[in-house]
Amino acid sequence: MIDILHSFGAGIAFAVGVTVGAVLCRIASAEGRKEITREWKEHQNKVEDRLAKYVIESGRIATALESMANKEVLNQTNTEK
């Protein structure tokens, strides 16, 4: 059993090493740095778009809840009369 765990750990270590090596090679070249910068900017734009949509939807939800609360207050005052 321990041999399987050692093999599994060695496989993970190898995969991490290959990934880190690939990233370092990519960063080492000017073209790779430009590509990473472009990808990062695309990622930032996606995040900003998602946050903007979230803010808009949150505002809509807050407006709807406020409207519902106001209607409920009006209904309570009308039934008390």
pLDDT of the chain, 81 residues: tens digit per residue: 778 888 888 999 999 999 998 888 888 888 888 888 899 999 999 999 999 999 999 999 999 989 888 887 667 766 665
What's the token pair of residue 52? 């903007």
Domain boundaries, the chain: 2-80
pLDDT score, position 77: 67
61 vs 56: CA distance, rounded Å: 9
* DSSP H/E element including 29: none
pLDDT score, position 17: 92
Residue 27 in contact with residue 36, Cβ under 8 Å? yes
Residue 26 in contact with residue 36, Cβ under 8 Å? yes
29 vs 37: CA distance, rounded Å: 12
0.85 surpassed by pTM: no
